[in-house]
Amino acid sequence: MGVERKWLFTLFTVAFLSLTFLFLSSFSIFTSSKPLPSFVHHGSHYPPAFAYFITGGNGDKNRIFRLLLAIYHPRNRYLLHLGMDASDKERQGLAAAVISVPAIRAFGNADVVGNADYVTHLGSSNVAITLRAAAIMMKLDSGWNWFVTLSARDYPLITQDDLSHVFSTVRRDLNFIEHTGDLGWKESDRFQPIVVDPGTYLARRSQIFQATQKRKTPDAFKLFTGSQWVILSRSFLEFCLFGWDNLPRKLLMYFTNVKLSQEGYFHSVICNAPEFKNTTVNGDLRYMIWDNPPQMEPHALNVSVYGQMVESGAAFARQFDADDPVLDMIDKKILQRGRNQVVPGAWCSGQRSWWVDPCSQWGDVNILKPGSQAKKLEESVSVLLDDWNSQTNQCQTSGE
């Protein structure tokens, strides 16, 4: 074995062991969790619930808090992660803001990560962080059905009553994950280069290490790629975390050294697992505007595309600049959310006012009242499900 290959093997082993440690270790959290009140009911006879994992970095405290208010519902679970580049003061400020909301304080269903990790675009750190988040949210709450990844640059285009209403008719084992087996240019640019993400084992931010050599595309499993923004079923995540075969761990070892692991790990696991490959609905329910070919990030959205966003039938949109006026338009016209207030739903029983939070009082949190955007989302989901029903193999690769 040559010197460079020995070096690569050592880096590969260290990175994999570090990633596994990060995955198995648990988050420390600022806000104290407690069981949901007994009048929050979960199960097949009740609306579905969602586990939201929201990430951001230095300076994103207010953006994450605003996003939390825009997607809050007592039936859901929330985990907020400000990356290591944010200060402890900012992290503590976010935790204080979270518990200042009467409903969140009463239901105890939102937590802030205390022992944070770096949030990076490149490398495998994001996969480790996401797996850890899913594991801790399973431990905190046994009732949620789908796991949703969001960033501080995202914002909803529907209320949670809309989302739960539409997903009430969706099979709860389905996964909304945009994917393709046609790797194209990504094969040589994203998958074949060998990289090591220092974020998996160093306490400081550093550029990823990239080897001069490339590796062949594996033939033991098929690679898939797609959007990193996913809506994953609880059953699939249980397979990834506590898998009854070695597939999730084998692919985790491979994707430890992939340049953009979050664009391929879950996609490849689900499409190589016989019991899950036909639960893949090929869409992420996000509204984004990309260059062609796509760059690292989509275009920033603003007032000029508000009409397109509203009519898109997407559940979420990205990316937005902080406090862009279009966010105020979404709050006012779609969410009907007052400043520093959660989005009013059927569960809110207080007087509606821009000065008084109607959700500081509540009634039955298990009922829904969908709004006008629910119909648009329903149409989008229906199209995706029609396409899903028409396929006998939802994870076909190019040419099959």
Q: Name the domain count of the chain.
A: 1
Please report whether residue 353 resides in a domain: no
pLDDT digit string (tens) for 362-385? 999 999 999 989 999 999 999 999
Please report whether residue 364 resides in a domain: no
Please report whether residue 367 resides in a domain: no
d(CA 98, CA 20): 30
Alpha-carbon 80 to chain mean position? 11
Give residue 399's pLDDT.
Answer: 41
**CATH code, domain carrying 269:** 3.90.550
Please report whether residue 321 resides in a domain: no
Range of the domain at 209: 3-292+385-390
Please report whether residue 347 resides in a domain: no
Percent of the chain whose predicted confidence (pLDDT) is above 90: 61
Give residue 34's pLDDT.
Answer: 61
CB neighbours of residue 291 within 10 Å: 10
Please report whether residue 315 resides in a domain: no
Give residue 243's pLDDT.
Answer: 76
- The residue that leads in pLDDT, 392 or 88, is 88
Please report whether residue 320 resides in a domain: no
pLDDT digit string (tens) for 316-344? 999 999 999 999 999 999 999 998 999 99
d(CA 94, CA 304): 31
Give residue 109's pLDDT.
Answer: 95
pLDDT digit string (tens) for 340-363? 999 999 999 987 766 778 999 999
d(CA 314, CA 286): 5
Which pairs with CB-CB distance under 8 Å and at least 24 residues apart come from 295-302? 296/121, 300/324, 301/326, 302/326
pLDDT digit string (tens) for 112-125? 999 888 777 776 78
Please report whether residue 369 resides in a domain: no
pLDDT digit string (tens) for 75-93? 999 999 999 889 999 999 9
| Residue linked to tokens 């619930």 | 49
